[in-house]
Amino acid sequence: MSGITPSQTVGPYFAYALTPTRYALHEIFSTDLTGPGVEGTKITLTGQVFDGDGVGIADAMVEIWQADSKGSLEHSTLGSGKANSGFKGFGRAESAANGGYTFTTVKPGRVDGADGKPQAPHLGVTIFARGMLTHLFTRIYFEDEASNADDQILNLVPADRRHTLIARKVGDNAYHLDIRIQGGDETVFFHA
């Protein structure tokens, strides 16, 4: 059997195809995962993506993937693909000139972990950019969740780096987390 197809960088010119907000192509993904009737607590998530010099990355693409507010993945490839008033669980953002990103979604519920115990609410995150030959995996957790203390994945991360995965609460149902690709306070990335 031949091996898997290698990754290559998304390059600097993806936006007109993958995040075409500013172009004529119709957009199929959004930074807003909520639609009419979606159940759960609506939240906004903001942050900036920084390079090793602390400069915001203007040509990054951030994708999030998550369970619905009840921790169900019925909307996914493991379920029927349809559930919860059209909730898709997937969002995609092109970073702004300062590296900024914003998502509107619902707070995910708890999904079972590899050890069979429920994980703390979290988002799966992938980062793509010019200068990244293979995309990076990380996660976003939420500061106001007591279950973070028992989360299997968070507990694999050295205690002094866990905060790089936990979004701060900055307002009512508003969270913020910067993603630092390299250097001081570097975000924890995973080999998935």
Partner 1 sequence: MTLIYPRESFFEAHPKHDSPTYRSTAKRHPKQPLIILPHTKTELSGPVYGHEVISEFDNDLTRQHAGEPQGERIIVQGRVLDEDGRPVPNTLVEVWQANAAGRYVHVVDDHPAPLDPNFSGAGRIVTDENGRYRFTSIKPGPYPWRNHHNAWRPAHIHFSLFGHSFLSRLVTQMYFEGDPLFPYDPIFNEIPEGARDRLISKFDLDVTEPEWALGYTFDIVLRGRNATPMEK
Structure tokens at 4: 């898997």
Segment 15 to 54, residues that bind partner 1, using CB under 8 A: 15-18, 20, 22-26, 28, 51-53
Contact flag: residue 90 with partner 1 (CB under 8 A)? yes
Q: How far is CA 16 from CA 23, 36, 93, in A?
A: 6, 27, 12
Among 131, 170, 171, 173, binds partner 1 (CB under 8 A): 131
Pick 43 or 123: Cβ nearer partner 1: 123
Structure tokens at 104: 């509107």
Pick 54 or 171: Cβ nearer partner 1: 54
Shortest separation between residue 57's beta carbon and partner 1, angstroms: 7
Shortest separation between residue 171's beta carbon and partner 1, angstroms: 26
Residue that the structure tokens 């921790």 belong to: 71
Question: Which residues are paired to 175 by β-bridges?
Answer: 45, 169
Contact flag: residue 182 with partner 1 (CB under 8 A)? yes
How many other CB atoms sit within 10 Å of the CB of residue 117? 12
Contact flag: residue 79 with partner 1 (CB under 8 A)? yes
Question: Which residues are paired to 45 by β-bridges?
Answer: 103, 175
Which part of the chain contacts partner 1 (CB under 8 A), choosing from 36-44, 109-117, 140-148, 170-178?
109-117
Shortest separation between residue 133's beta carbon and partner 1, angstroms: 4
CB burial string 15-31: b at 16+ within 10 A, e below: beebbbeeeeeeeeebb
Report the C-alpha dihedral over residues 10, 15, 18, 24, rounded to 10 degrees.
-150
Pick 162 or 168: Cβ nearer partner 1: 162
Give the count of residues interacting with partner 1 (CB under 8 A).
Answer: 80
Contact flag: residue 173 with partner 1 (CB under 8 A)? no
Nearest to 161 by CA among 134, 141, 146, 176: 141
Shortest separation between residue 35's beta carbon and partner 1, angstroms: 14
